[in-house]
């Protein structure tokens, strides 16, 4: 904690984001007295998620935050619109200059890469987007999450919860992370028994094509 009583966490919300990418880590970190979690939005309310099942209201606009200890960028099919918004990318890049850690979940790492702060780093993203991550100058990893320098990136959606517990262990203590884990009853069992890490490459390629078609169609809904 480097002498601080609380670390500030800023989560960026945008239309088309996947809620669990942000809500999962929020639930873990906000349950700890060592973190002060704030959500900011890319635009005025409401912010509607990818499934149009949640509307977020009354969030401050992103550029109201000038510094933060931890920046968290979630993923979701609204990611492409964010990647095409230079003002938001510039804000991410500027904020990153002073963060203790810059983090992402799922395709949030594509946004970080587009902001050109992951160049040459190892990073995770959703399994179907690993090639796209490589095309942005990043070394893609087929792992649950990975840390490269001050960048901590998680793979798809639910992996953000595992990343958040890693942050608790790293920044506070293993015992504290254990206490929060018990509080939210998060006891993952045999994650890799059947997962994107264990499927044959031929089956993965087929799934990637299928998911890619779905994802591109979903992205198009959030492009102006």
Residues carrying an active site annotation: 106
Backbone angles phi, psi at 99, to 5 degrees: -75, 150
Within 8 A by CB and 6+ apart from 176, the residues are 32, 34, 168, 169
Complete DSSP assignment for 172-217: T-HHHHHHHHHHHT-----TTSSSTTTS-HHHHHHHHHHHHHHHHH
Contact in structure between 139 and 124 (CB atoms under 8 Å)? no
16: left (phi over 0), alpha (psi -120 to 50) or beta: left
For residue 108, which of 120, 91, 87, 92 has the smallest C-alpha distance?
92
Q: What stretches of 1-85 show up as alpha helix (H) in DSSP?
A: 19-30, 79-83
Q: Is 65 helix (H, G, I), strand (E, B) or coil?
A: coil
């Amino acid at each position: 904690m480097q002498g601080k009583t609380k670390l500030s966490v800023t989560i960026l919300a945008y239309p088309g984001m996947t809620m669990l990418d942000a809500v999962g880590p929020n639930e873990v970190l906000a349950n700890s007295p060592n973190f002060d979690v704030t959500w900011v939005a890319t635009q005025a309310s409401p912010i509607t998620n990818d499934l149009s099942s949640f509307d977020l209201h009354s969030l401050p606009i992103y550029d109201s935050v000038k510094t933060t200890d931890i920046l968290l960028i979630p993923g979701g099919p609204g990611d492409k619109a964010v990647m095409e918004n230079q003002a938001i990318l510039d804000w991410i890049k500027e904020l990153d200059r002073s963060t203790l850690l810059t983090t992402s979940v799922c395709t949030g790492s594509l946004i970080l890469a587009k902001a050109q702060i992951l160049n040459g780093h190892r990073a995770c993203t959703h399994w179907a987007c690993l090639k796209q991550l490589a095309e942005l100058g990043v070394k893609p990893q087929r792992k649950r999450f990975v840390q490269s320098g001050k960048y901590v990136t998680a793979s798809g959606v639910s992996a953000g919860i595992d990343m958040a517990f890693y942050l608790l262990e790293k920044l506070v203590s293993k015992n504290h992370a254990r206490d929060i884990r018990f509080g939210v009853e998060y006891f993952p069992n045999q994650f890799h028994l059947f997962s994107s890490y264990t499927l044959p490459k031929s089956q993965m390629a087929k799934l990637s094509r299928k998911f890619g078609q779905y994802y591109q169609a979903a992205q198009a809904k959030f492009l102006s």
